[in-house]
Structure 1
Amino acid sequence: MASVFFSLTGESCYTPSEAKKLTERINAAGSLQIASISGHWAYHVNLKPGTAPNDVIDRLEQLLPLPKTPDSAGAATEAAAPGLRQTYAIAPRNISPWSSKATSIAAVCGMGAQVERMERSRAVTIEFAEAYAGSADDLPFRDLIHDRMTEALTAGSEPDLARMFAQEARRPLETIDIFGQPGTDPVNVLRAYNEAKGLALDEDEMAYLVAEFKALGRSPNDVELFSFAQVNSEHCRHKQFNARWTIDGIEKPKSLFQMIRNTHERNSQFTVSAYSDNAAVFHAEPAQFWAPDYSTRVWRLTKEEQPSCFLAKVETHNHPTAISAFQGAATGAGGEIRDEGAVGRGSTPKAGLCGFWVSDLSIPELPTPWDVDIGKPGHYTSSLDIMLDAPIGSARYNNEFGRPCLAGVFRTLLSNDGEETVKNAYRGFHKPILIAGGLGTVRPGHALKNPRDVQNGAHVIVLGGPAMLIGLGGGAASSNANAGSAASAALDFDSVQRGNPEIERRAQMVINTCVALGDENPIAMIHDVGAGGLSNALPELVNDAGFGGKFELRQVESADNSMSPLQIWCNEAQERYVLLVNPEGYNRFMSICSRERCGFSDVGTVVARDSNGQSKLIVTDRDDTTAPNPIDLPMATLFPKNRRLERVVASRKPTLAVFDPLASIWEGYAKGMDDRALLAETIRRVLLVPSVGSKSFLITIGDRTVGGLVARDQMVGPWQTPVADVAVTAGGFNVDGRVRSGEAMAMGEKPTLALISPAASARMAVVESLMNLGAADLRDGLQRVKLSANWMAAVNHPGEGAALYEAVHAIGEELCPRLGLEIPVGKDSTSMKTSWTDGNDEVKTVTAPVSVVISAFSVVSDITKTWTPQLRRPEEVGDTVLMYVDLARGHQALGGSALAQSLGRVGHEAPDLRDDLTKNDNIIADYFDALRQLHESGVVLAYHDRSDGGLLTTLVEMMFAGRCGVDVMLDDIARSGKLEDVIPALFNEELGAVFQIRKGDEMLFKSGFSTCGPPAGLIRKFGVVKTRSRQSLTVRYGNDTLVQLDRSELQQWWSKTSHAMQRLRDNQACADAEFATLSDDTDPGISYRLTYKPADTLSPLTAPISRLLGKTPRVAILREQGVNGYAEMAFAFRAAGFDAVDVHMTDILEGRSLADFVGLAACGGFSYGDVPAAGMGWAASVLMHKENARREFEAFFQRPDTFTLGVCNGCQMLSRLQELIPGTDHWPTFVENASEQFEARVSMVTIAEDESRTGGVLPSVFLHGMAGSSLPVVVSHGEGRALFSSPHAQEAIEKRGLAPIRYVDNRLNVTEAYPYNPNGSPGGVAGVRSLDGRVLAMMPHPERTIVAGVGSYLPAGSVEEWGNFGPWVRLFRSARKWVG
């Protein structure tokens, strides 16, 4: 029976702001001009045989966001002359994440028997300035309106639905007949196949395979060759790092990896596992574990603190980001998150970091003198588009999964300085670096993969999403040394991946539930599925367990039944894990998966080794009688031993001209300027360099608070300035709410220095990460610090292999052993070169410098003692001084600096670690001994290390964070007051730091250094902090004022790059409004104005629920698939005296009653990935299940003895259940933010007076004693703007006081102004309540700052004053007071 398709027209796919920006970009891009662009979503439904559209259309119209009015779909209606108006359909090439989520919602809402699949497309209408007669394929700006790697653009308003939903014939297995061609060398046949399919096999590997299959007496098939290629790719097996190296004719004694392992061999204390798992594991401080009891579902803390571990991993995803920036970055984040969840027998991601390195941005609105635009390969993404799309991809994945991203790096580079002898040869990042990393937790009993935990016959499970025809050959493609060439374009296309974080969240919930079972954890071993797909993951899993394996291909859940054995086995569909589950735990495991609605496939079993100790890999295909065994190979064939690459390379020193900064400045822009004007202009230009300037546009898009344990994120102080050095998390929840210990992480990198000295670059990267980490109160100084090293290089480029070896040797054999540091985890990417032929038939190359990115991790003693760069004003702390600690011993090299970059130069001398090894110096170890004492003494008010932009940038960033003035003297720092001496002093990026201390603490500060720190001569008092009324930077030498600039002007220059990017990406009016706030010197910043004492406990009122007397009242912590804010919500209610009970929507749909709960809390997150709109699918799953869910919720809401709290996604869901909730008739729904972007901020809100309402409006259950308070609260949402059905509805809400929580500006005025109101809600509405006060729905997150010491900004002394919990605990205690 033929399939039936039909479509529904959705709302506009462009806001007016988006359409305007896109029109401008199109017209700026070329000669074909347009008048306008518009479009709408189209929803396509593939029905199962025997189903008619009328069977489901009513329910789908309730489920999908369809136009409210006929013209709201954005379609043009007026007639146009032929060719002036064209409509194009833009549809996914493969099954999109939206399709997976929407189809899942339809099934949950009772349409699983009728709907086969749902998909959406865009119908885009373009009004051309002049008639266009060309085809869709020839449309010049097609790449500006669609992503050609993931989308197809065709003429017409609708894609070919038959093709979109087609189930093609199953593709067969292919045998590569290498022995069946007489007179032909089998290696030549294999070589041709290798080149055609991009397998990246080297000559030795091809000869090896020919010999192996000759011994087996047959030719290989495509599955076997792809499997071998993926398993043994550079990406998976790190051949360069395990190779034997001969440099300049001298054979080196160690491989790169051996030098890195040397750090572990020399200092493995506190390390549980290194190099043997998906992440490294370390001992942490004792902690209590917080999880629901499996049998009762009640959230419990372990009775006492237990030993605990934390883990660290940092990955790269460079190649995919180059060809499809959003999906490359998204799946990079997702893959690293899976690494953190797949340690030992199961683990949990906790906090992330990220980084982006690209070539020059060439921002149209912000041209800079150093920008170089040399073009790019046709199928690569430009640096500008990478930075517009990749950060969103990374952030959205982290946000939707539910992991805060707390640290990062952003750098640009494109230069031919030193490369002038080779035409069109540049150094830079056309092949970008995309870093995704973080830390997680694992219980000690689950931390190791132990083959003894695995029984013969254990089930082999694929957990997560289905196989899809995406990401084929990614492991080999990313290892391609000819990246960017035309020959690689088709292979790059095939290797594109797609992310679905909502599925990964479901899989992680399965892992979390298993882990919470402790010794009864059914997972015996786990791996993530990454490069190479199952072809790499399953053999690696069973091999690590000491077994072979037998797998059935058709047991693998597949979204496309036409896939060939090769495609099923080797595709890189994301969000999958492979596990071994012993038979006794199998039924429990299935039950857990069912509750979480997480797909899994039981694909086979482990098979014991034979009598000779050999194991086999057997993959069967029960549907193919002619080729029933696509793979039947010894495991030894797939994992050949003792095969090492031989690398013979020569070193090459670049010819770099001597860098005279003043001469370069005079040549560039200084003519006609006096010294003060010249210095001021130099400062402005340095602040424009992306690595120096504000990274706000990369930060506010990412959730930084989910989980409720973030003590230090990137934003600092009352003005939330993005200048933090370090990220800090609390170790966990505990019974009294006061958590002191935790974890810290920070990053370091200096790739520009590698163009001068690879060794200096590596050393400086390590020490920069330590200088940043030192802001935290590290346990035992450097002893507990662990490093991750990510290595990027183009090893086949002349001199770069030797440069990489030099860099690894510098820290693996020298620096890290001397500091007692270990590098137990890392990643390499050794094909960082891009080459292409441009339109003039000229070959161009862009080669990345050797780039080592260091991520440092450590245990923290006290999370409340973290230093920040926020200068404290004299009005607050009295007179203070600035102390400068110069760890460079007076050296002021400018090579690789932001100053050099702003002048289009590299420089000739690199900053470096300036130890005198002849005197056994160890200045960094000494420095950290001093920092430990300073943390204990409490004398430091502010701290910031010297890095990009030099001492000048250090000072102004501290000034920005404190909104004060700074007056500094350079007499002890610069050799003279002349510009040739002042410029190196201000802009060198040598090692050093600035401390703010009270004037009377100078001796105490110096005493911290005198006993163990660097020499006293390196410590200088050089400045003072001025009051709020004197917000300017003044730099003096002797009696001369060298420069004086206002804080507001400097901060706007520092923010220009971020602002320009924000304008291109988001709503321009919002971007401009935020930029304008920087000039307000009188802005008081966020503050706590409380009408209650957070430490007070509330005595219960007379209990309205007599039947619960004598019992702890129970609150249902409600979640749906994709919800991620459950743990902190449960803890908030536990802290208030409730029993918090884990309730999944599957429990309700299967008959679980809410009758025994007094409260219901709908948590934040991304139910169904915010498809079709935020909270809409979750609400539909209630409303469309009339027999159980709808009836159960309606009965609960009607009971007068209950309360309900909905936060963020829970708020959005409740707003769509108004028909069930009494007293919510005029509630708004919550739609896309006015900024057209996800907003993660700390916003001020005020609690309206509501204690004495009349006319049927009762006091709020949640706000007892809070009326009149104004305080900061976490905001993290993309759809938080309140949309009322009519002006009358808004008036009714306001008149009756049903919007008790409103956004205010920093002067405490209710506001609609961005960014104080983060979403544009009218009247500043942040939350709404029911008439009787029992229901509160709010978009901000009060539950995320319950733990004492947690939060982006806490006033000095507040933790001691507030007690064990933060101020928002009052909201939950108020509910407990009401219950009695």
Structure 2
Amino acid sequence: MEVVSVFLKPELKNPKASELCQSIKTVLGIDVERVAMAQVYRIYKKLSPQKLKRVAEKVLLDPVSETAKGAEKSFDWCLEIGLKEGLTDNLGLTAQISIEDFLKEPFKAGESVRSSIRYFLKGKLTQKEVRRIGEELLANRLIEEIRVEKLGERLYKTIDLPEDPKELLEISRSRQLALNLDEMQAIRNHYASLQRAPTDVEIEAIAQTWSEHCKHKIFQAKIRYLEDGKETLIDSLFSTYIKKATALIAKETGDWLVSVFKDNAGIVRFNGTTFLTCKVETHNSPSALDPYGGALTGILGVNRDILGTGTGSKPIANMDVLCFAPPDYTGVIPEKLQHPKRVLKGVCKGIEHGGNKSGIPTVNGALVFDQRFLGKPLVYCGTIGLMAARVGERGTETKEIQEGDWIVLAGGRTGKDGIHGATFSSEALHAESPTSAVQIGDPFTQKKLSDFLIDAQKKGLYRTLTDNGAGGISSSVGEMALITNGCEIHLEKVPLKYPNLAPWEILVSESQERMTLAVGEETKDQLQNLADFHEVEIAFIGNFTKTGLFHVLYEKQTVALLTLDFLHAGAPQLELEAETAKSLPIKTPLPPSDFKRDLHELLLRYTICSKESIVRQYDHEVQGASSLKPFVGIKSDGPGDASILWPIELQKEKKGIVVSNGICPRFSDLDAYAMGANALSEAICNQVAVGANPSKIAILDNFCWPDPIFDPEKTPDGKHKLAQLVQTTQALYDGATLLKTPIISGKDSMKNDYQIGSIKISIPPTLLITAVGEIPDVEKAVSMDVKEAGDLIYVLGLTKGELGGSEYFGLKNLKGGAPPSVDYLLLKKECDALFSAMQKECIASCHDCSEGGLGVALAESSFAGGLGLEIDLKKIPVDGLLSDAEILFSESAARFVITVDPKRQKEFENEMQGLPFAQIGVVRGDAQFIIKTVFSEDLFKLKESWQSPLRSI
């Protein structure tokens, strides 16, 4: 960007400036000494100094009365007024046309001229007074924005860190650093040893790097865990349970696991020439303040995680799992929050625009509803990618950088949007949560960036790359610098959306559609030429070094000088306490039931009902890879258990990619271990139900938790919530190791609370498990819809009296009861048997049982196939003496509804030997849904109940 400022020559009087000076005094009562003005043109096109000088003198100013040299330094404040982004700038457009005519050189796409006016003010004014001048005398707030700059200030500020703990915490609060007292004291002690105060740039870089969002401090903490009086010391939940589980499994998997826990996404080997990459992120806090923008940048951000994995991976599919308060919520909406229906619509629109406009299909997801998500919605965004195992002679899974390599910023420009996003997401939503922390996404810019990066990777024009997500340049360059042990960044070289950003703002801004590349000198010019071809802006903003330093400069002046060791390893480890006592399930008596009415009402519940009206907004066909789609059945409206992708790049063989998920936060109220176990079980069952190979399933974990750090005032139940986190990670460890499903990536989002005044809303502890697997032959995929009249209906798995936390208990407003337990060894045997039967093609349909139990699973399979069923509850395998309500609506884990052609009955039953299974009924040729001796109902009336609740969304 080039800037030309046009002033009236000093010997000439400017009547507009004089009039403004008088108005400031008389209208606003503000004492100002002098006012000057300049017309400003920002030229978003690279021009040599000689060309720029000619353009200024011959095109943009009148040499008789105007000059490009002003006396800005003699003033105290600069007030700039310009049109908001996206509005037509007629003066800028006229200037652009004039420059094109003068240079005989047309502007390319993305190149433009923007105009604004700068007002220079002399006097003892406050920033508030200067902004008031802009708001009340100069700007049309509907279409123009105001920028204020104090002239003559240093490029950075130093921040004195006092001894007093309260004052230290006030610095953290006022600057939105989200650092605790131990961390602030560690910073103060570090700078005391250096005998200097930190700069604001250094403080912001440290806060970003040490944020809960980036550092995952709770998962890395030392935890004193007390359960029923027995104490266990845990040094890092991540190392003890998650990383260890995968390490144990990796010993048995050969070279299938390529890269885990050390890159932007997990990498597994799909075949001899192709890697599969996968990442799931959350964007909860931004989506609470701006549902559309938060979700849009969430999906675009996780796309960039895939683009930035290894030396670059191509995104081929998106996933979204969303948790909201019910859209028919009628209670009070607390300050800063929006109605759940508005949040739902905004989030869904953001995901639609992010995926559809980027040309990436959305193939899998879920929607969960609970009133506690009013305080913060949960917005899980995931992406799967493909990556060639080698490019030329080099493997693509590792990141390599050499000393002297250029730091290159590619994509969108940097602005104030997203500043403090990392620290903002590390706190509860409160009265001072800044809306500026929500980033502004642009799918079209990202699509161009993506195409450029894929092309550049094939040509070998960069060594490695990463995305600019949380923490922006500070995070991306700070992490890449660990590879060479140093970096030097020149912030004035960063392309900006607009001027007057402070150096610290440039460093930590989370403006979207930006990637950071490491580029050798030998390919620098080729990369620039390719960027020009793709019309993507790139900037060479520094170099990687071996100094051990994170060195940041602005206009040749050092504004931050930190050792990488202190930046990345200087944060004190949290020491936390968790405490719980196990309690026996409370036996809850069941009320009398009208089972037909109950089934209708369950199908009407938001978590169970059809999500087709929402999911159909997403393109799941783009890229032409969908083999088994989100909706299946005779009318393509049945809820598939998982999606199967068969990308064009992989069609030399029939092997496909299976994508599924599991989430059940309602169980955490009773037993957090059960919640984690059932989330894992559901994700695996959904995989196997469509034909995935159970020995080739990898999983990703995403924990979303209310604040689990004890504070007697803010979180008096913090020890219990932390104990729930411990129990859930233990469940994940147990399940992953017994099922042999390695965890390849994950993320945690803590502090999912809302607290303003006396109102506090905390989400239920929630674990999402995303599963990515393989199906050896996509032509052997199995869907959940019944196929033919006369087919035999089976149930595989044991039904127990486990209604605790169920949708049925929710419907009846009942508490207590036992949540489902998971027998991992039995589940593994069931999965192996199902896979074998599906490979022999003796299963017609298969559907996982989850929300609503067998009653809902049977109804879904029935109306997806358009055929009725006749079921005998007495034949269903059960544990103990169960009531009809328990058999129909218990949500016991590891169960499947299966239909089989009578000709394949013997073969199927041979495969199931030794497992709890039974033939329980038959597929009818009409539309009658019959539970013998209990009730019968017209199938399409059940379907109408299921489809109606969200139809208008």
- TM bucket normalised to smaller: 0.7 to 0.9
Pairwise CA distance, 1:529: 0.6
Give the secondary-structure state (helix, strand or coil) at the position aligned to 1:637: helix
User: Cα distance 1:48–1:478, how it changes in 2: closer, same or farther (>3 A)?
Assistant: closer
Of 233, 241, 245, the residue aligned with 2:223 is 245
Of 430, 440, 443, the residue aligned with 1:501 is 443
User: Cα distance 1:48–1:438, how it changes in 2: closer, same or farther (>3 A)?
Assistant: closer
State whether structure 2 residue 801 is matched by structure 1 residue 892.
yes
Q: Which amino acid aligns with 1:343?
A: T
2-structure distance, mates of 1:176, 1:188: 19
Once the two structures are superposed, what CA deviation does each residue of 1:1310-1368 show, in whole Å capped at 9, x if it has no partner? xxxxxxxxxxxxxxxxxxxxxxxxxxxxxxxxxxxxxxxxxxxxxxxxxxxxxxxxxxx
Q: CA RMSD in A?
A: 3.2
Q: Which residue of 1 aligns with 2:266?
A: 280
Pairwise CA distance, 1:449: 6.0
Give the secondary-structure state (helix, strand or coil) at the position aligned to 1:698: helix
Pairwise CA distance, 1:114: 6.9
2-structure distance, mates of 1:485, 1:165: 26
Once the two structures are superposed, what CA deviation does each residue of 1:1204-1235 show, in whole Å capped at 9, x if it has no partner? xxxxxxxxxxxxxxxxxxxxxxxxxxxxxxxx
Of 516, 525, 528, the residue aligned with 1:590 is 528
State whether structure 2 residue 516 is matched by structure 1 residue 618.
no
Q: Which residue of 2 aligns with 1:1044?
A: 936
User: Cα distance 1:112–1:192, how it changes in 2: closer, same or farther (>3 A)?
Assistant: closer
Q: Which residue of 2 aligns with 1:686?
A: 602
Q: Which residue of 1 aligns with 2:50?
A: none
Pairwise CA distance, 1:459: 0.6
Once the two structures are superposed, what CA deviation does each residue of 1:167-208 show, in whole Å capped at 9, x if it has no partner? 8667864424416xxxx5265543321111221111121111
Q: Which residue of 1 aligns with 2:182?
A: 204
Pairwise CA distance, 1:600: 1.1
Matched-pair contact (CA < 8 Å) for 2:638–2:785: no
Q: Which residue of 2 aligns with 1:776?
A: 690
Matched-pair contact (CA < 8 Å) for 2:402–2:484: no
Q: Which residue of 1 aligns with 2:344?
A: 387
Of 366, 384, 389, the residue aligned with 1:409 is 366
Of 584, 591, 596, the residue aligned with 1:662 is 591
**TM-score under structure 2 length normalisation:** 0.82
State whether structure 2 residue 938 is matched by structure 1 residue 1023.
no
Q: Which residue of 2 aligns with 1:266?
A: 248
Q: Which residue of 2 aligns with 1:756?
A: 670
2-structure distance, mates of 1:378, 1:358: 17
Q: How does 1:1214-1253 map to 2 (within 5 A)?
A: none
Q: Which amino acid aligns with 2:917?
A: I
Give the secondary-structure state (helix, strand or coil) at the position aligned to 1:240: coil
Give the secondary-structure state (helix, strand or coil) at the position aligned to 2:676: helix
2-structure distance, mates of 1:753, 1:3: 66
Q: Which amino acid aligns with 1:256?
A: L
User: Cα distance 1:547–1:240, how it changes in 2: closer, same or farther (>3 A)?
Assistant: same
Matched-pair contact (CA < 8 Å) for 1:695–1:722: no
Q: Which residue of 1 aligns with 2:503?
A: 565
Give the secondary-structure state (helix, strand or coil) at the position aligned to 2:311: coil
Give the secondary-structure state (helix, strand or coil) at the position aligned to 1:437: strand
Give the secondary-structure state (helix, strand or coil) at the position aligned to 1:899: helix
State whether structure 2 residue 697 is matched by structure 1 residue 788.
no
State whether structure 2 residue 754 is matched by structure 1 residue 834.
yes
Give the secondary-structure state (helix, strand or coil) at the position aligned to 1:650: strand
Matched-pair contact (CA < 8 Å) for 1:787–1:824: yes
2-structure distance, mates of 1:110, 1:592: 14
2-structure distance, mates of 1:98, 1:723: 45
Q: Which residue of 2 aligns with 1:1242?
A: none
Pairwise CA distance, 1:975: 8.2
Once the two structures are superposed, what CA deviation does each residue of 1:1230-1265 show, in whole Å capped at 9, x if it has no partner? xxxxxxxxxxxxxxxxxxxxxxxxxxxxxxxxxxxx
Of 982, 985, 993, the residue aligned with 2:887 is 985
Once the two structures are superposed, what CA deviation does each residue of 1:445-474 show, in whole Å capped at 9, x if it has no partner? 3665646x4222101011110001111101
Pairwise CA distance, 1:847: 1.8
Q: Which residue of 2 aligns with 1:806?
A: 727
Pairwise CA distance, 1:533: 1.2
Pairwise CA distance, 1:501: 1.2
State the percentage of identical aligned residues. Answer: 21
State whether structure 2 residue 294 is matched by structure 1 residue 328.
yes
Give the secondary-structure state (helix, strand or coil) at the position aligned to 1:662: coil
Q: Which residue of 2 aligns with 1:1334?
A: none
State whether structure 2 residue 407 is matched by structure 1 residue 460.
yes
Once the two structures are superposed, what CA deviation does each residue of 1:1086-1114 show, in whole Å capped at 9, x if it has no partner? xxxxxxxxxxxxxxxxxxxxxxxxxxxxx
Give the secondary-structure state (helix, strand or coil) at the position aligned to 2:379: strand
Of 460, 477, 502, the residue aligned with 2:424 is 477
Q: Which amino acid aligns with 2:376?
A: K
Give the secondary-structure state (helix, strand or coil) at the position aligned to 1:809: helix
User: Cα distance 1:1003–1:113, how it changes in 2: closer, same or farther (>3 A)?
Assistant: closer
Q: How many residues align?
A: 835
Q: Which residue of 2 aligns with 1:437?
A: 382
Matched-pair contact (CA < 8 Å) for 1:880–1:997: yes
Once the two structures are superposed, what CA deviation does each residue of 1:62-92 show, in whole Å capped at 9, x if it has no partner? xxxxxxxxxxxxxxxxxxxxxxxxxxxxx99
Matched-pair contact (CA < 8 Å) for 1:173–1:221: no
User: Cα distance 1:803–1:103, how it changes in 2: closer, same or farther (>3 A)?
Assistant: farther
Q: Which residue of 2 aligns with 1:883?
A: 794
Q: Which amino acid aligns with 1:1032?
A: Q
Q: Which residue of 2 aligns with 1:928?
A: 831
2-structure distance, mates of 1:115, 1:688: 55
Matched-pair contact (CA < 8 Å) for 2:873–2:920: yes
Matched-pair contact (CA < 8 Å) for 1:231–1:237: yes
State whether structure 2 residue 681 is matched by structure 1 residue 767.
yes
Give the secondary-structure state (helix, strand or coil) at the position aligned to 1:632: strand
Show structure 2 runs of 5+ residues with no match: 8-38, 44-53, 60-80, 101-105, 117-134, 710-714
2-structure distance, mates of 1:933, 1:716: 23
Of 658, 671, 689, the residue aligned with 1:744 is 658
Q: Which amino acid aligns with 1:261?
A: K
Of 623, 629, 638, the residue aligned with 2:558 is 629
1-structure distance, mates of 2:262, 2:225: 29
Of 899, 915, 929, the residue aligned with 1:1033 is 929
Q: How does 1:932-1081 map to 2 (within 5 A)?
A: 932-973=835-876, 981-991=883-893, 992-1010=895-913, 1015-1016=914-915, 1018-1027=916-925, 1030-1036=926-932, 1040=933, 1042-1061=934-953
Matched-pair contact (CA < 8 Å) for 1:763–1:913: yes
Q: Which residue of 1 aligns with 2:810?
A: 901
Q: Which amino acid aligns with 2:736?
A: C
Q: Which amino acid aligns with 1:395?
A: E
Matched-pair contact (CA < 8 Å) for 2:249–2:740: yes
User: Cα distance 1:103–1:479, how it changes in 2: closer, same or farther (>3 A)?
Assistant: farther
Matched-pair contact (CA < 8 Å) for 1:281–1:310: yes
2-structure distance, mates of 1:783, 1:618: 47
Matched-pair contact (CA < 8 Å) for 1:46–1:165: no
Of 817, 820, 824, the residue aligned with 2:744 is 824
Q: Which amino acid aligns with 1:386?
A: V
Pairwise CA distance, 1:532: 1.1
2-structure distance, mates of 1:986, 1:92: 64
1-structure distance, mates of 2:110, 2:571: 52
Pairwise CA distance, 1:318: 0.8
Q: Which residue of 1 aligns with 2:122?
A: none
User: Cα distance 1:96–1:1057, how it changes in 2: closer, same or farther (>3 A)?
Assistant: farther
Pairwise CA distance, 1:358: 1.6
2-structure distance, mates of 1:109, 1:929: 62
2-structure distance, mates of 1:93, 1:891: 65
User: Cα distance 1:706–1:1004, how it changes in 2: closer, same or farther (>3 A)?
Assistant: same
Of 518, 529, 541, the residue aligned with 1:603 is 541
User: Cα distance 1:199–1:529, how it changes in 2: closer, same or farther (>3 A)?
Assistant: same
Q: How does 1:1157-1196 map to 2 (within 5 A)?
A: none
Give the secondary-structure state (helix, strand or coil) at the position aligned to 1:438: strand
Matched-pair contact (CA < 8 Å) for 1:835–1:845: yes
Q: Which residue of 1 aligns with 2:356?
A: 399
Q: Which residue of 2 aligns with 1:532?
A: 471
1-structure distance, mates of 2:115, 2:444: 18
Q: Which amino acid aligns with 1:210?
A: R
**TM-score under structure 1 length normalisation:** 0.58
